[in-house]
């Protein structure tokens, strides 16, 4: 009796985990599509750090939370703020502001990676700022996140949980059908006798 009860609990836990996993995948895909390709939760975008320019504070392979900013906020950063901005070649970079310069054309920022010897060559125009680093970082998770954004990762992340859920459903259907069949067989034997 205890064994059956244990099996039921394990079955419920597996079902719950698979359902949560599939719902999580659906939410990630939905928020990514709604935000134009960048997952955003409560006004924060999740970014993957693939270089060591901000070490030791932000390690290579980390994920960080970057607070989205409005156009008005882009002109209000100060020296020491860590911003994420779009470089000329459409690459996102997260570096610290070392100098704020105001001209008639607007505000631009001089930036530098904490681990770099020199400031960045090109000043950052306010309009190219994507967000402000919130200080939230999780080391090493960025490697997995980067893989999951690749075609192979997407296939693995979507197909494997779906296959597990389908397999588990088939197993449960088979188990219920065999139980029903066992209950029906003794009844038929009594009728024929």
Candidate from 16-25, 31-40, 113-122, 126-135 with smallest mean pLDDT: 31-40
Tell me how far apart the alpha carbons of residues 22 and 15 are, in angstroms, rounded to a whole number. Answer: 11
pLDDT, residue 111, reads 96
Q: How many residues does the chain have?
A: 193
Residue with tokens 């750090």: 49
Active site residues: 51
pLDDT tens-place string over residues 103-116: 887 888 999 999 99
More confident residue, 22 or 50: 50
Checking 105-114 for CB contacts under 8 A at 24+ apart, the result is 106/75, 107/74, 107/75, 109/77, 109/83, 111/83, 111/85, 113/51, 113/53, 113/54, 114/53, 114/54, 114/55, 114/56, 114/57, 114/58
Query: What percent of the chain clears pLDDT 90, i.e. is strictly above it?
Result: 20
Residue with tokens 């505000």: 107
pLDDT, residue 115, reads 93
pLDDT tens-place string over residues 61-76: 888 889 888 888 888 8
pTM value surpassing 0.85:
no
Average pLDDT, the chain: 81
More confident residue, 22 or 92: 92
39-139 CATH fold? Umud Fragment, subunit A (2.10.109)
> How far apart, in Å, do the first and last CA atoms of the chain sit?
31
Mean pLDDT of 166-190: 76
pLDDT tens-place string over residues 125-163: 888 998 999 888 888 887 877 777 677 877 777 777 778
């Amino acid at each position: 009796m205890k064994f059956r009860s244990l099996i039921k609990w394990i079955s419920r836990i597996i079902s719950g985990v698979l359902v949560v996993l599939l719902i999580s995948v659906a939410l990630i895909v939905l928020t990514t599509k709604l935000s134009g390709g960048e997952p955003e939760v409560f006004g924060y975008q999740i970014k993957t750090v693939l270089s060591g320019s901000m070490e030791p504070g932000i390690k290579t392979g980390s994920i960080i939370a970057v607070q989205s900013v409005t156009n008005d906020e882009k002109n209000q950063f100060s020296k020491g703020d860590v911003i994420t901005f779009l470089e000329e070649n459409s690459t996102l970079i997260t570096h610290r502001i070392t100098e704020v310069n105001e001209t008639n054309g607007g505000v631009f920022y001089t930036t530098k990676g904490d681990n770099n010897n020199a400031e960045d060559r090109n000043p950052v125009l306010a309009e190219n700022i994507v967000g402000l680093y919130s200080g939230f970082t999780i080391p090493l998770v960025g490697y997995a996140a980067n893989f999951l954004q690749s075609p192979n990762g997407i296939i693995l992340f979507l197909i494997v949980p779906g296959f597990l859920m389908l397999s588990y459903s088939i197993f449960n259907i088979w188990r219920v059908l065999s139980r029903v069949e066992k209950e029906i067989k003794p009844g038929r034997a009594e009728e024929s006798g």
